[in-house]
Amino acid sequence: MTLTGNGEHTARPRRQPRTGRPRRLAATLIGLTLAGGLLLTGCGASDNNGSSTDGSNKSGGRGFPQPAPNRTSGTSQGEQKDTPTGDASREFAPSPDYLSTFALDVDTASYGYARRALADGRLPEASTVRPEEFVNSFRQDYRRPDGNGFSVTVDGARTREEDWSLVRVGLATRDTTQSGKRPPAALTFVIDISGSMGEPGRLDLAKDALGVMTDRLRDDDSVAVVTFSDEARTVLPMTRVGHHRDRIYDAIRGLEPTESTNLGAGVRTGYATAVKGLREGATNRVVLISDALANTGETDADAILENISTARREHGITLFGVGVGSEYGDALMERLADKGDGHTTYVSTIDEARKVFCEQLPQNIDLTARDAKAQVAFDPETVKQFRLIGYDDRQVADEDFRNDRVDGGEIGPGHTVTALYAVRTRPGASGHLATASVRWLDPDTRAPHEESGQLETGSLDEDLWTSSTRLQVDAVAAYFADDLRTGDDKATPLPGALPLGELADRAHRVASAAEDKAVDDLADAVERASGLRG
C-alpha cells in the first residue's frame, strides 16, 4: 500500500496468505461484492459480551462483513506446508478488505530475549522482534469466563494523530484457581546439555527451576527426562511422580554440560519417549529447554519440524519451548513451538525460570482450547484503514476461520491474548466499528465453540494517554516493539508513535500508575534502547 498526497491509499499487489499457520504476513483481499454477500443481520446487541456457540454470529447496528461461513468437511483444505509469502507486516490493509484473521499466540520469548539483549548493552536484531509477544508479556484485567473457552473484550482509544485510534481485542481463559482438578500431566523434558549450556543463566537455571517444579507436581503426574549434546539419550523414561520424586531429582541433579548441540536428535528422541509414555486422558507435552543453537547432526529446520508435526497429528502431543542464553536461536525455537502446537518463553534469571515452571505451571501444561483463531470484522461505513500490530506469522486465510482442519493456537488456563490494531476511522463517522470473534475446539471433545464482542466508535476513549492503565501499557509495548523493528529504515511507524526518549518518559509514568514491577522493567528497557539508539 502507498499513501498519496491527499492521505488516501492505493493498494499494491499483495500475496495470498496460506491456510494453516503461515510463517510470514500477507493479507487476503476480499472483494466488495463478496463482502456484500457476507453482511450480518442485526440483533440489537450493543455490549462487549455478545456471543455465539452454534456457528452463528450476532451483532448490532447495520450490516458489515461477518466471519467466514462454515465449511463442510468436503471442502476443507486441511493444514498446508509452510510457504514463504514475503513480509507485508508494515502495510495497512487497503479497503475493501475489512476482515482480519489470525491464530492465537501466547508466546513471550521475543520480549524476554529483547530485554536480555538490552541488558547486555545491545539492541535486539529487528528480525527477533515480534510485537504481539511484547504486548502479551503483561498482565491484563479482562473479564474471565467460568468454563473452558474465552471471554472477549473489545475497547480502544484515539491517538493524537487525526482519525487514528488503537483498538484492542482482549481474549481471556478461565483463571487457574477456577479450573478445579486439572487432568494429570505427562511431561517429557528435553534438555540441552551441550557445551554452550554451561554459560551462567542456562543449564543452571533449568536445574534449579525443574527441581522446584518437581515439588509442585501431583502424584498422578508423570515425568520423563531426555538430554542431548552431540547425541541424545533418555535419562529417565516416563515415570509416575508418586513415590519416585527422588528418581526425578537425581536425574535433574546429574545434568552436566558437554560437547555440541544435536538439537535434531534431542527432538527426535524426546518425541519418541513421549509417544512411548503416552497417557490417555492426560495432557501429553514435550518441554524443550535449549538455546536452540543447532550445530551437529540434523540442523535443517524443516526436517526437525516434520518429526514434531507427525507426533502432533497422530498423538496430540504439544510442545512448550523455553529459551535460554545470551546467544539464542529465536527463529528455530519459535518455529518448533508453532509446528508443535505450543508456545515459547525466554528466561534469563532464576526468578523468571521459577515463575515459568512453578507459578505458571498450570497454564503452561494444561489446555482449555485447541486450534483457537480470531477474526475481526471492521465496519466499512466507519473504518477506512487498519493494521494488525504483529501476528505476522500467525495469519490465516479469512475463509478458513471456521475451517477446523486449519491449525490454530493451543491455549491453557490463566492465559490472556491481546491483539492491537491501528484503525483509521472515516472523518465524522459514528456507530458500529468492529466485531471480534474467537473460535476454538474443546480440548477433549473437539467440539467447536465461538464467542464474540463488539465496539462502537462512541466507546473509544478520547485520548490514549488518559485511557485505562492496562491499555496504556499495551500501547507502550506495541510502540516500543514497532520502533525496534523499524530501526533506521523508513518504514511507516504506527500512528501516534512517540520518539523513544518520549516513549521512555511515558512508560515511566504508566509504570508508576500500574504499580507493577513488570511495567517498571518495560520502562527501563525503553530507556536503555533510547540510550543505545542515541
pLDDT in tens, 207-230: 999 999 999 999 999 999 999 999
CA 46 to chain CA mean position, Å: 28
pLDDT range class, residue 342, cuts 50, 70, 90:
confident
pLDDT range class, residue 90, cuts 50, 70, 90:
low
pLDDT range class, residue 77, cuts 50, 70, 90:
very low
Q: Residue range 485-508: average pLDDT?
A: 86
d(C-alpha 131, C-alpha 27), whole Å: 18
Helix axes 469-486, 109-119, angle to 10 degrees: 70
Residue 180 in this model has a pLDDT that exceeds 80: no
Structural domains in the chain, sorted by start: 96-177+370-499 (2.60.40.1230), 185-365 (3.40.50.410)
Beta carbons of 17 and 85 less than 8 angstroms apart? yes
- Minimum mean pLDDT among 8-22, 339-353, 415-429: which range? 8-22
Q: Residue range 335-340: average pLDDT?
A: 86
Residue 524 in this model has a pLDDT that exceeds 50: yes
Instruction: State residue 44's pLDDT score.
Output: 33
d(C-alpha 229, C-alpha 297), whole Å: 10
Instruction: State residue 52's pLDDT score.
Output: 34
**pLDDT tens for each residue of 12-44:** 323 333 334 333 333 333 333 333 333 333 333
Instruction: State residue 420's pLDDT score.
Output: 98
Residue 49 in this model has a pLDDT that exceeds 80: no
Higher pLDDT pick, 339 / 138: 138
pLDDT range class, residue 469, cuts 50, 70, 90:
very high
Task: Round the average pLDDT of the chain to a whole number and report it.
Answer: 83
Residue 51 in this model has a pLDDT that exceeds 60: no
Residue 84 in this model has a pLDDT that exceeds 50: no
The percent of residues above 90 in pLDDT, for the chain, comes to 65
Instruction: State residue 93's pLDDT score.
Output: 67
Q: Residue range 75-86: average pLDDT?
A: 32
Closest CA to 90 of 25, 152, 144, 45: 25
pLDDT range class, residue 313, cuts 50, 70, 90:
confident
Instruction: State residue 226's pLDDT score.
Output: 97
**pLDDT tens for each residue of 126-158:** 999 999 999 999 999 999 998 888 999 999 999
Beta carbons of 188 and 253 less than 8 angstroms apart? no
Residue 73 in this model has a pLDDT that exceeds 50: no
Sign of CA dihedral 43, 45, 48, 53: negative
Instruction: State residue 490's pLDDT score.
Output: 52
Residue 46 in this model has a pLDDT that exceeds 50: no
In angstroms, the first-to-last Cα distance of the chain is 31
Residue 245 in this model has a pLDDT that exceeds 80: yes
**Sequence letter at residue 534:** G
Which residues lie below 8 Å from residue 286, measured CB to CB, with a gap of 6+? 187, 188, 190, 270, 271, 274, 317, 318, 319, 320, 340
**pLDDT tens for each residue of 445-456:** 999 999 999 999
d(C-alpha 272, C-alpha 270), whole Å: 5
Beta carbons of 163 and 427 less than 8 angstroms apart? yes
Strand, helix or coil for residue 236: strand
- Minimum mean pLDDT among 65-79, 97-111, 404-418, 508-522: which range? 65-79
d(C-alpha 256, C-alpha 253), whole Å: 8
The percent of residues above 70 in pLDDT, for the chain, comes to 81
HSE (side-chain half, CA atoms, 13 Å) at 374? 30
d(C-alpha 347, C-alpha 203), whole Å: 11
Instruction: State residue 275's pLDDT score.
Output: 94
Instruction: State residue 512's pLDDT score.
Output: 95
Instruction: State residue 181's pLDDT score.
Output: 73
Q: Please provide residue 176's backbone torsions phi and psi, each rounded to the nearest 5 degrees.
A: -65, -25
Q: Residue range 303-312: average pLDDT?
A: 79
